[in-house]
Every structure is written in structure tokens, then in C-alpha cells.
Structure 1
Amino acid sequence: MSDFSEEEWESVCMRCGKCCLEKGTHDGEILFFNRVCDGLDLRTGLCTRYKKRLCENCAKVDLTLLQTEPSLLPESCAYRLLLAGKDLPAWHPLVSGDRESVFKTGKSVLNVFGLHSDGAVKVELQMLSVKSRAEGWDLKRIKDEAEKLFKKYPLRVVEKYPAVGNIKLL
């Protein structure tokens, strides 16, 4: 993998979006939550800020990351599989020959974790912010309305793995 060209390296990514899930650690495990970085394009599984890494806690997926903090990527990640000497799954685009196979087989955050609702959370929070300013809400009302919104879209763990490497989260 160390001698991959940039094009070869990028072709390994299956665009599942799981590396963009919010993460935390607990009792030696890394937890992947049902919220995705707002830089992820939910239609394509591609990061809209990939080159600049503008999102908080965004990590560059490279060989160094794989060797030092592999748990930041899910165990199903093609980069982790190749580094461990394992075969890519049949639904990986390089194996199937179909760029959409990760979506068609339900292996993407787009259809496994229902993250479209998180987009709704962001839109509703923005609307709440605008409305609260326009109507001059007090802090208590803002907190009450935000609490209702987060009950509507609760945070939950969708995957967890043993933490490996120097994990620096939460």
C-alpha cells in the first residue's frame, strides 16, 4: 500500500461514509454514532471538504493513520482489510465492477443508518435559531425547543469495535 499512486489509493475507498460517522470511546471500545459529519454528501458518500479537511476531528486516511489509529475506521473499511492482508468483499466496487454496489447492498451509511434524519436535525436547528432570534425567545424556551428536537432524533451507537492505537476522542 505504501507504493500506491494517489489514484490507486483513492480507488480503494468504497465511499461507504462510515469514516465520517461521529465517534467516541468507552471502556476500550470505539463507538460509531448515527450522526455523520456535515461535510459528507449524503447523496454520493463523498466528502465535500476532502482536500481541505475543514471539519473538526477530520483525519486524513493514509497509511500513517492505518498504522497508528486504525480504529478510527470501521473494521469493514477496505483500507483496513488490505493492510491486514484480507480480501475485499464481493460488494466492493473494485471487485463487483459497479461503483454503486456499496449502496445497492446496503453497506453505506446512506442506507444502513438512516442518516438523512441528521440532515433534518441540522435544518431544523437552523430554522429554530432563526425563529428564536426573530421572535426574541428567552434562553429557557430555546433550550426547551432544542430538547424536543434532540428527542426526535436521538443519538445512538450503530457500530462498535475494540479501540486499537492512539485514539484521541471524547
Structure 2
Amino acid sequence: MAEAKTLQPQPFWRVKRLGEMTSAEWESLCDGCGRCCLLKLQDEETERVAYVDVACRLLDHEACRCKDYPNRAAHVPDCVRLTPEAVEEIGWLPVTCAYRLIDEGKDLPWWHPLVSGRAETVHEAGVSVRGRIFASETDVGVDELEDRIVGWPGKWPKAARSAPKPRQARKR
């Protein structure tokens, strides 16, 4: 007799579009990388966006989370509130961003906390801004920002491209 296979329900991000997610599901998509909290410069002629290694004044550089997420717009009026519509329109979301990935029909990577079950994997994979921020926006003048342009926020870190191999026990 053939063994019956138990069907496991698919995770919500594989079966729902962004606009169909509950508030809790939506918020859980944020991997805590902090890349979207880096300041960005936009060329007026080409509209090309460049990241700088200077962070929003509310970003906790170690935790890579907003220090006052519920009230962020009161402190940073131009903070972008992500919505399904905004995700489609914004051209600067990092390539590793879960909202962008899901909008593009892709799956979440191995290091995303919803997949790994651990918040630290986003840091271990080198995706987060932890240890890569030069300063907060309050410590850098606007005229200095062009000198702080960096390319890494627009790229997949090598460590994030494939899941690490499980460690094997050493023979004694």
C-alpha cells in the first residue's frame, strides 16, 4: 500500500499577492536589513538613484531597525510608507528586499527570517547594513553625501546567494 503524503500548507508569501496580506504578514516581510533606510541621491537628469552609506536618523545601526517605527513620519516627514502600490512604483527598493522579490514573483531567500526562523541570518549573510554605515544623516552635511555613494546596497552579497552547507561532525 502506498504511503499517503501529507500536504503542507504553502507559506503565505507564496500564495498571496502583497495586497492580499494581513497587516501582520505584511510587516513580517521586512527582513530587518536596513538597506531602505540608507539615504539615496537621485540624478535629476537620468533619475538614477544611488545609495550612500549614511543612514536615516532613526535607524538603529546595530539592530538595523527603526528606533521609532510607529511614529517615524512625525520625525522624518519624507519617510516612505510602503504599500503594495508603492512597491510597484518605487525603483530604489534594494534587490534583496522581500517586498520587491514577492512583487516580482520570486521566493524569499534562505536567509530571510521567515525562511530561516532566525532574525540573525540577515546579518550573517551580509545582507544588512550592520557594520557598513558611515554615519547618521544628522552627522553628515548634505554637501558631503556625494562622496559617500556606495554600490553594495544594490547588489546581492556573495554569502547571501546560496545557503550555507550544513556542518558535518568531525571524525575522532
User: TM-score, normalised on structure 1?
Assistant: 0.67
1:104-123 equivalent positions in 2, closer than 5 A: 104-111=124-131, 114-115=132-133, 117-119=134-136, 122=139
- Distance in 1, matches of 2:117 and 2:136, equals 30
**Which ranges in structure 1 are unaligned for 5 or more consecutive residues?**
126-145, 162-170
Deviations 1:118-149 (A, max 9, x none): 15983xx8xxxxxxxxxxxxxxxxxxxx8xxx
- Aligned Cα root-mean-square deviation (Å): 2.5
CA contact (8 A) 2:98 2:108 kept: yes
Out of 53, 71, 74, which is 2:94 matched to?
74
User: TM-score, normalised on structure 2?
Assistant: 0.67
**Which ranges in structure 2 are unaligned for 5 or more consecutive residues?**
1-17, 155-172
CA contact (8 A) 1:31 1:160 kept: no
Q: What residue in structure 2 maps to residue 94 of structure 1?
A: 114
Task: Confirm or deny that 1:31 pairs with 2:50.
Answer: yes
Q: What residue in structure 2 maps to residue 49 of structure 1?
A: 68
Q: What residue in structure 1 maps to residue 148 of structure 2?
A: 155
CA contact (8 A) 2:32 2:64 kept: yes
Structure with the largest fraction of helix: 1
Identity %: 33
Pairwise CA distance, 1:56: 4.3
The 1:2–1:119 alpha-carbon spacing in structure 2 relative to 1, beyond 3 Å, is: closer
Corresponding letter in the other structure for 2:40: K
The 1:120–1:13 alpha-carbon spacing in structure 2 relative to 1, beyond 3 Å, is: closer
Larger RCO of the pair (alpha carbons < 8 Å, separation 6+): 1
Corresponding letter in the other structure for 1:79: Y
Pairwise CA distance, 1:11: 0.8
Runs of 4+ with deviation above 6 angstroms: none
Q: What residue in structure 1 maps to residue 28 of structure 2?
A: 11
